[in-house]
């Protein structure tokens, strides 16, 4: 009884090995076929001339917007520095005038 079971098991085992080898061979064949079908040069997506023009216009538009933003920031900083300079000048002149008033005119009243 062990003999037929053993033979059946061996037969199933051999069939599994055979199927496994066939799958490996087929896999190698598919890999070789894929390697042969891959082009050797790079391909690029075709773009219509209109889309290229639109793309360039979009790039120029973005550059113009960036330059305008930078210019706006520079102008704002220059204006802020001018205003701060005027205010600082006014505070300094006011302080000197106050000190001069205290020294020359406020001391005479007592």
Tell me: the pLDDT tens digits for 21-61?
999 999 999 888 887 776 667 777 776 766 667 778 888 99
Measured CA to CA, the distance from residue 37 to residue 42 in angstroms comes to 13
**Joined tokens for residue 21:** 């080898």
Measured CA to CA, the distance from residue 91 to residue 95 in angstroms comes to 6
Q: Characterize 70-83 residue by residue with b for buried, 16 or more Cβ atoms within 10 angstroms of its Cβ, and e for exposed.
A: eeeeeeeeeeeeee
Q: What is the pTM of this model?
A: 0.44
Query: What is residue 83's predicted lDDT score, i.e. its pLDDT?
Result: 98
Measured CA to CA, the distance from residue 86 to residue 12 in angstroms comes to 99
**Joined tokens for residue 35:** 């390697």
């Amino acid at each position: 009884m062990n003999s037929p079971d053993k033979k059946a098991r061996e037969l199933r085992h051999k069939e599994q090995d055979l199927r496994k080898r066939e799958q490996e061979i087929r896999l190698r064949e598919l890999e070789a076929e894929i390697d042969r079908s891959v082009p050797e040069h790079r391909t690029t997506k075709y773009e219509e001339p209109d889309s290229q023009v639109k793309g360039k216009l979009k790039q120029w538009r973005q550059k113009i917007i960036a330059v305008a933003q930078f210019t706006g920031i520079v102008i704002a900083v220059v204006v802020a520095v001018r205003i701060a300079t005027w205010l600082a000048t006014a505070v300094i002149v006011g302080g000197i005038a106050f000190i001069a008033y205290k020294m020359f005119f406020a001391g005479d009243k007592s």
